[in-house]
């Protein structure tokens, strides 16, 4: 009988940890917002962060996951501006693109339908980890 009580007590303790984690996850998810719901400053930070990721992918010619979303026009325009300004330092290029292509980049980000924290950071990891997860999903589906 005491064995069963000990097992039951262990089960209850594990369940309380699981419930705590679920509550914690729920709180994080409730705080997540779509890009369009962010304030102006948070959107600017999100655009800058996304552009750093985008430019790294652009340099390695690996934007194929993004091209699966309905943002081809926006990507073509951003890519055109990247090529025109390729002599700039990376930080200058990001600033240039934020200044001139922010609405295009915003439409790309919105199409990806990702959650953000109120400060403009992705709510679940990084753009690179998101991209890799998308790639892995495609690879496992083949």
CA distances from 15 to 3, 6, 20, 24, 96 (A): 18, 14, 8, 14, 51
The pTM (predicted TM-score) of the whole model is: 0.76
Instruction: Please tell me whether residues 54 and 2 are part of one structural domain.
Output: no
Q: What is the mean pLDDT of residues 62-89?
A: 95
Name the residue with higher pLDDT: 17 or 105. Answer: 105
Instruction: Please tell me whether residues 127 and 63 are part of one structural domain.
Output: yes
Instruction: Please tell me whether residues 12 and 68 are part of one structural domain.
Output: no
Instruction: Please tell me whether residues 66 and 126 are part of one structural domain.
Output: yes
In which band, very low, low, confident or very high, does the pLDDT at 19 lie, cut at 50, 70 and 90?
very low
CB 77 within 8 A of CB 101: yes
Give the domain extent around 121. Answer: 32-141
Instruction: Please tell me whether residues 51 and 103 are part of one structural domain.
Output: yes
Instruction: Please tell me whether residues 123 and 65 are part of one structural domain.
Output: yes
The count of structural domains within the chain is: 2
Instruction: Please tell me whether residues 42 and 66 are part of one structural domain.
Output: yes
């Amino acid at each position: 009988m005491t064995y069963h009580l000990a097992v039951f007590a262990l089960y209850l303790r594990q369940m309380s940890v699981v419930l705590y984690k679920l509550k914690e996850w729920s709180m994080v998810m409730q705080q997540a917002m779509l890009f369009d719901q962010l304030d102006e400053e948070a959107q600017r930070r999100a655009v800058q962060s996304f552009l750093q990721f985008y430019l790294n992918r652009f340099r390695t010619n690996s934007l194929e996951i993004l091209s699966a979303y309905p943002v081809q026009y926006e990507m073509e325009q951003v890519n055109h501006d990247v090529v025109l300004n390729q002599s700039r330092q990376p930080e200058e290029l990001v600033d240039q693109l934020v200044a001139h292509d922010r609405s295009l980049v915003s439409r790309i980000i919105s199409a990806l339908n990702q959650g953000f924290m109120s400060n403009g950071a992705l709510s679940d990891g990084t753009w690179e980890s998101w991209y890799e997860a998308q790639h892995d999903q495609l690879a496992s589906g083949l």
